A and B are shown apart, each in its own frame.
Chain A
Amino acid sequence: MIAPSEVPSVPVLEVRHLAKRFGGLWALRDVSFSVSEGEILGVIGPNGAGKSTLVNLITGHARPTTGQVLIGGQDVTGQRPWVIAHDRVARTFQIVKPFRGLTVRENVAIGAMHGNERDRSVRDSLATADELLDLVGIAKHANAAPMQLSVADARRLELAKALATRPRLLLIDEVMAGLRHHEIESAVELIHRLRDAGITVVAVEHVMKAIVSVSDRILVLHHGSILTLGSPREVLSDPRVIEAYLGHRYVKRRSE
């Protein structure tokens, strides 16, 4: 774990006064933070808080209304998604986006063909895909069609596709939602392994327990603004977070 005081000079990701307006709605406003190398940043917030919008703005899938995105100190605001991907930033989609006409193996291989340090041939990419499928635990479905996968396995595929591009920064948008207990545990373990391999992780999650155990710091979004940003313990004990986001049910559950 890297404490803020030991932050290396250039953060992997820095976001400055980022804002996004959809018509009359500010999905995100004046969001600034940075993520240093090797860190795991959790992002939480109620439905519609702007979490997915934040990911989209960072990866070029939406253009910010105002503000800047810096990757490794470079301003990449408004760049197209493949430019961001070649800056070694990968992401998953909350609503999984498999390439349906291809096998699970081929889905992953595409990232190895077109991402960073890419394989020189289709054959090598398929070999890389097999290793990554093994890593995320769906090697036995390599030849299946992605639509045949369970919810949990489809999320794992989404993760393997992203990893195949060899990212230094990985943004995951709710890969744990809807998973069972033991599935969440293995996902948490996987995220730790990614960090150990040198990948910085920004994890958008709804599952409170998972995010607390996995994150170095947690960012709380509410109505598009940062409510608070701090260590899991600070965030959990912040009365505004308990009030605004977690609500009374969580307070009750904790005291049980």
Chain B
Amino acid sequence: MADILRGRARSRQGLFVGWIRALTPANSWPALAGLLVFAAMLALQQLIEPGTQRLLTSVFLFVALAQAWNIIGGYTGYASFGQVAFFGLGAYTVAVLMNNYHVSFWAALPLAVLVGVVFAVAIGLPLLRLRGHYFAIATLGAAEGAREVINNLTSVTGGGGGITIPTFGSDAPTPYFGKPGFYLAFLVLAAVSVVVAAVLARSRFGYAMVAVHEDEDAAGAVGINTTVVKVVAFGVSAAIVACAGAFYAFQQIEFYPTDVFDASFTVLMVIMVMIGGSGSVVGPLAGAVGLQLLSQFLRVNLGNFNQLIFGAIIVLVVVFFPQGVVTYLRDAWRTRHFSILDNVRRYRL
């Protein structure tokens, strides 16, 4: 008894043993499932036409963005409405380096991620002291500010006239990947973001994020440095988003500040996480895949009314599954209680 109170050093190989144990069959089925899906997506590329490839490429992009938003907005509980700033900064870092300085894409990519992380830390240190709506509005403002800076640095970024990445001929520092190349690039990006989120969620840091989300005073009392947890979570999220922005820029070749700083990217990240269910890895994944496929389906089949129907479906899902569809299904399965009406009552009283 006294032993447990005084604390005892557990064996040094504890970490390693724990890691091996974590790979036992009971824990490894999500990893196996993920690997299977990844392999299936790789194989699928050979079977589908370019239009479908383009659609799936955008699905992969949003899987990465939703996972990134979930790290800061879901697990840590800080709903950022400025994530597109990291997307735009990633895109412009790559474009400026490739266009103005003839840096190769692969050399520009880590710098794009770095710029995103540095900006996240710079705005995170002051803004992550704010909570709730104040944080949301402040991050929204920071993203608008970032866009305006890019817009006005005409000599470097081309300003509102846009920027073009040299991708063809002897001028191109890196040859254009082509449609199949971007399918693979965004698939890998999505896979990496899912793995990062899954590993974080099961780590001590993951528990710290949840604790910060629940109650910062209580988190501090058990030794969690809440400032570090919030800034690191924001930084990891920004790194993924900036990386996505960099690939997106190379894919677009030519774009304007209004394209890559478009606030609807942020809005979609938020909606996808909310619809799927925040604070889990599967929720944002399902939200991103589901919404992106649905949006495309409606666009093809409903013509002019597709946006209206899309919005209506989102509203209905939010009304009936306020906690997110995946979270609802998980809880319903655990409690064997599937009534949707009861679900609405539980969350809307």
Contacts and interface: CB of A to CB of B under 8 A. Distances in A.
B7 to A, nearest CB: 4
Contact of A113 (B2, B19, B21, B207): B207
B44 interface: no
Contacts of A125: 204
B107 interface: no
Interface in B218-254: 218-227
A110 B1 contact: no
A123 interface: yes
Secondary structure call for the B interface: helix
A124 B221 contact: no
A190 B21 CA distance: 34
A114 B208 CA distance: 8
Interface residues of B, number: 37
Contact of B203 (A99, A122, A132, A193): A122
Nearest to A194: B5
A111 B204 contact: no
Nearest to B213: A101
Nearest to A83: B225
A82 interface: yes
A124 B224 contact: no
Interface in A49-71: 59-61
Contact of B210 (A86, A99, A115, A161): A99
Contact of A114 (B2, B4, B222): B222
Contacts of A193: 1
Interface in A80-135: 80-82, 85-86, 90-91, 93, 97-102, 106, 109-111, 113-125, 128, 131-132, 135
Nearest to B206: A122
Contact of A97 (B14, B203, B218): B218
A106 B222 CA distance: 13
A164 interface: yes
Contact of A111 (B14, B222, B227): B222
B4 A97 contact: no
A193 B5 CA distance: 10
Contacts of B14: 119-121, 124
Given A110-B211, A197-B1, 4 more contacts: A82-B225, A110-B208, A114-B223, A122-B203
